[in-house]
Chains A and B, each alone.
Chain A
Amino acid sequence: MTATERAVRIARTASDGRRYFQTFRVPCGPRTTVLDALLYIHRQLDRTLAFRYACRQAMCGTCGVRVNGVERLACYTLLGAVPGRVVTVEPLRHLPVIRDLVVDFGPFFLAWAAVKPAFTPADQSRAEPAQIPPADPDRQAIDRHRECISCGLCYSACDVVGSRPSFPGPAALNHALCLVLDRRDGAGPDRLRAVDGPDGCWACRGLLACSDVCPKGLAPSGAIEKLKRLIAFGRRWDGVAV
């Protein structure tokens, strides 16, 4: 192997469903990403490798994988920056593997259903959409938790999801908080009741792994803590009108 090559070890799926690892040698430049490596393998070495990608700029959240055990977007992880002799690429945890690095996001989005994810207008009679000005404290409270791209990295990183499949996961609870904090939404109390309980936000152990891996710099663990405070102490605790 030359100095500009790296060994990339990829989790593969055999036709009988058996999982195994296959190692490839991939050229590594200063700007080569893990996604570039996967594309090189697919185009030059093995056309059967299955993986997902779309935007290549950490916007769509499609290319989430585990790189050396850390949930990352493949398009935004430099191959040369990954420590260790071998770069191991695996599919996300807690989701059924369809093939190689492709997982079924069904359980992830089903978990969203548990938190009543649809916006419910508080005032059904309005002709125009209600607005919250950017400088409004309520809006700024929401801003800290929006921009989730549903990449599933936090769902994979969360150990609670692994031990308690009924837990909705960090992304769903973060989305629930965004709607709870939105004064235009009329289902806040129902949503808080939906996330209350041992399988809701109280199952979170504050491991912070979700915040570690979020590609948009959000803090789902902070959102979950805020949901707990809203349930336990009411709307006044954080100075946010629910």
Chain B
Amino acid sequence: MGLRFEVRRPAYPLSWPRLHRAGVWARRLQRVSGLVLVAFAVWHVFQVVGAAQDRARLAAMVSTLYHPAFIGLVLAALGFHTLNGLRTVLLDLGLLGSQRQVGAILAAALGTVLLVAAALGWRLR
């Protein structure tokens, strides 16, 4: 019986690794985006309660909500938190292999950029 050798793709290239610690940065962005969303939710609740008694505050809140920078910030946080959260759920369930995680993180980032670009395109048209 002959020996069988397993041929694997070179797992450890001599070249310098790209996108090193992508998962660490994804985790950090997940936390930051989560904090942004919590801050937005708290702000929004206080604004709505205040606007119920004061129409001027309602107008100010709507003005802030439609500001392009505000739309960009909230949707960037919402988009990345959702897509990256979905990635981690798929990872936990074993439905997305750990070897594909860097691609999945990039896809989450790209999806966020597209979401923000589409929203800003709609707002500034």
Chain A residues within CB distance 8 Å of chain B: 58, 70, 73, 76-78, 81-83, 134, 143, 157, 159, 205-209, 211-219, 221-222, 225-226, 228-229, 237-238
What is the CA–CA distance of A228 and B9 in the complex, to the nearest angstrom?
A: 28
Evaluate contact between A225 and B27: CB separation under 8 angstroms.
no
With A225-B98, A229-B94 as known contacts, state yes or no: A212 contacts B22, CB within 8 Å: yes
User: Of A217, A219, A226, A237, which contacts B12 at CB under 8 A?
Assistant: A217
Top 6 A-B residue pairs of the complex, sorted by shortest distance between their CB atoms: A217-B11, A208-B23, A222-B98, A219-B98, A207-B23, A215-B12
Evaluate contact between A209 and B4: CB separation under 8 angstroms.
no
| Nearest neighbor of A211 in chain B, beta-carbon distance | B98
With A134-B4, A207-B27 as known contacts, state yes or no: A219 contacts B99, CB within 8 Å: yes
Point out the residues of chain B lying under 8 angstroms from A73, CB to CB: 12
B15 at the interface (CB under 8 A from A): yes
What is the CA–CA distance of A76 and B17 in the complex, to the nearest angstrom?
A: 12
B55 at the interface (CB under 8 A from A): no
Evaluate contact between A159 and B24: CB separation under 8 angstroms.
yes
Interface of B is mostly: loop
B14 at the interface (CB under 8 A from A): yes
Query: Distance (Å) between the CB of B30 and the closest chain A CB?
Result: 10
What is the CA–CA distance of A215 and B12 in the complex, to the nearest angstrom?
A: 5
What is the CA–CA distance of A237 and B92 in the complex, to the nearest angstrom?
A: 12
Point out the residues of chain B lying under 8 angstroms from A206, CB to CB: 23, 27, 88, 91-92
Evaluate contact between A208 and B92: CB separation under 8 angstroms.
no
Evaluate contact between A229 and B93: CB separation under 8 angstroms.
yes
| Nearest neighbor of B99 in chain A, beta-carbon distance | A219
With A81-B14, A81-B15 as known contacts, state yes or no: A208 contacts B93, CB within 8 Å: no
With A208-B98, A219-B99 as known contacts, state yes or no: A78 contacts B14, CB within 8 Å: yes
- Encode contact with A along B5-45: 1 for CB under 8 Å, 0 otherwise: 01011011011110011111001000000000000000000
With A216-B12, A222-B99 as known contacts, state yes or no: A209 contacts B24, CB within 8 Å: yes
Evaluate contact between B15 and A78: CB separation under 8 angstroms.
yes
Evaluate contact between B94 and A58: CB separation under 8 angstroms.
no
Point out the residues of chain B lying under 8 angstroms from A218, CB to CB: 11
Point out the residues of chain B lying under 8 angstroms from A208, CB to CB: 22-24, 98, 101-102
